[in-house]
Structure 1
Amino acid sequence: MVAPRNGLWRRTIGILTAAGLLALSGATLATNQSQQRQAGRNANQNAKQQARSNKVDCRAANQKSNSQCRQDKRDTKQGGRQQKRDIKY
């Protein structure tokens, strides 16, 4: 009667080990994705802040018309969006 129980324990331990390894690999994937999302958010926020300060500087210096300053702001923000895409993929 001892032999069947021994086989059952081995199977149970094997199943639990496999389940644990699968759970750990999923956690690693989620961690990498969250780090990429955070880096993308940071890049996007930095680009927005840079665009704001560029527009303020542009308008203060009267180098260009307001529409040209707006276009510069849009271009800066678009560059930040592209940087975010590059980080995530």
Structure 2
Amino acid sequence: MSESTFDCWCRTVAPLAAAASLLVLAGAASGQTRQADERQAGRQANQAAKHEARTTKIDCRQENQKSNAECRQDKRDTKQGGRQAKRDIKY
């Protein structure tokens, strides 16, 4: 009788333990996915800022509204704004 009780207990507990371990592993994987998503969003924000800075400088130079140094400073400011946006996403 004790063997059948032990056998029944093992049949019940083993699947529950396996299910619990899968839930724990799934939780860890979703945390890594969240970090990956944040990194990707940060990269996209940074790339968008770089593209915007390039476009701004080209437009500035074509319109001759500012000196090259002023256009360069505008580009730097735009890129710095993108870096800050990336930090806001990441942290």
TM-score (norm 2): 0.87
Displacement of 1:84 in angstroms is 0.8
**2:16 is matched with which residue?**
14
Q: 1:63 pairs with 65, 78, 81, which one?
A: 65
**2:33 is matched with which residue?**
31
Displacement of 1:39 in angstroms is 1.2
Report SS of the residue matched to 1:63: coil
Structure 1, unpaired ranges of 5+: none
Which amino acid in structure 2 is aligned with residue 87 of structure 1? I
Are 1:43 and 2:31 matched, yes or no?
A: no
TM-score (norm 1): 0.89
Displacement of 1:59 in angstroms is 0.9
Root mean square deviation of aligned Cα: 1.3
**1:5 is matched with which residue?**
7
Which amino acid in structure 2 is aligned with residue 10 of structure 1? T
Runs of 4 or more above 4 Å deviation: none
Count of aligned pairs between the two proteins: 89
Q: 2:83 pairs with 65, 75, 81, which one?
A: 81
Further displaced range: 22-31 or 7-16:
7-16
Query: Identity of paired residues, percent?
Result: 52
Displacement of 1:7 in angstroms is 2.0
Displacement of 1:36 in angstroms is 1.4
CA distance in 1, matches of 2:11, 2:39: 42
